[in-house]
Structure 1
Amino acid sequence: MTERELFDSYNKDVYRTCYHMLQNAQDAEDVCHDVFITVFRQDWRSVEHIRAWILRIAMNHSLNILRKNRTKREKQEQIQIQHDQATMAIKSVNTIVMEKALATELQKQLNQLPDKLLAVVTLRYVGDLSMVEISESMNIPLGTVKSRLHNALKLMRKNMERHERFLTKGEKQLGIN
Structure 2
Amino acid sequence: MNSKLFHKILTEFMRDYKENVYRLAYSYVKHPQNAMDVVQDAIQKALTKSDSLTKPESIKSWFYRIVVNTALDYLRRAKKLVPVADEVLEQQGVNDHDVIQDLHLSETLEELPMMYREVIILRFFEDMKLEDVALVLNIPLSTVKSRLYQALKILRINMKQEETY
Question: TM-score, with normalisation over the residues of structure 1?
Answer: 0.70
Separation of aligned partners in 2, 1:42 and 1:3: 12
| Equivalent position SS for 1:101 | helix
Corresponding residue of 2:162:
163
**Alpha carbons 1:21, 1:122 under 8 Å: kept:** no
1:57 aligned to which of 61, 66, 71: 66
Corresponding residue of 2:26:
19
Identify if the C-alpha distance between structure 1 residues 42 and 151 changes in structure 2 by more than 3 Å, giving closer, same or farther. same
- Please report the RMSD computed on the Cα atoms of aligned residues, expressed in angstroms: 2.5
Separation of aligned partners in 2, 1:53 and 1:29: 19
Separation of aligned partners in 1, 2:131 and 2:125: 15
1:33 aligned to which of 32, 40, 45: 40
Identify if the C-alpha distance between structure 1 residues 65 and 3 changes in structure 2 by more than 3 Å, giving closer, same or farther. same
Compute the displacement of 1:22 (Å): 2.6
Larger Rg: 1
**Alpha carbons 2:65, 2:136 under 8 Å: kept:** yes
| Equivalent position SS for 1:129 | coil
Identify if the C-alpha distance between structure 1 residues 70 and 107 changes in structure 2 by more than 3 Å, giving closer, same or farther. farther
Corresponding residue of 1:130:
129
Corresponding residue of 2:149:
150
- Percent identity over the alignment is 30
Identify if the C-alpha distance between structure 1 residues 45 and 66 changes in structure 2 by more than 3 Å, giving closer, same or farther. closer
Identify if the C-alpha distance between structure 1 residues 139 and 72 changes in structure 2 by more than 3 Å, giving closer, same or farther. closer
Listed one character per residue, the Cα deviations across residues 35-62 of structure 1 (whole Å, up to 9, x for unaligned) are: 0111111134643322101101111222
AA matched with 1:28: A
**Alpha carbons 1:109, 1:160 under 8 Å: kept:** yes
Corresponding residue of 1:171:
none
Compute the displacement of 1:64 (Å): 3.2
Listed one character per residue, the Cα deviations across residues 72-99 of structure 1 (whole Å, up to 9, x for unaligned) are: 55xx79xxxxxxxxxxxxxxxxxxx759
Q: Would you identify which runs of 4 or more consecutive aligned residues in structure 1 move more than 6 Å?
A: none
Separation of aligned partners in 1, 2:81 and 2:126: 26
Compute the displacement of 1:135 (Å): 1.3
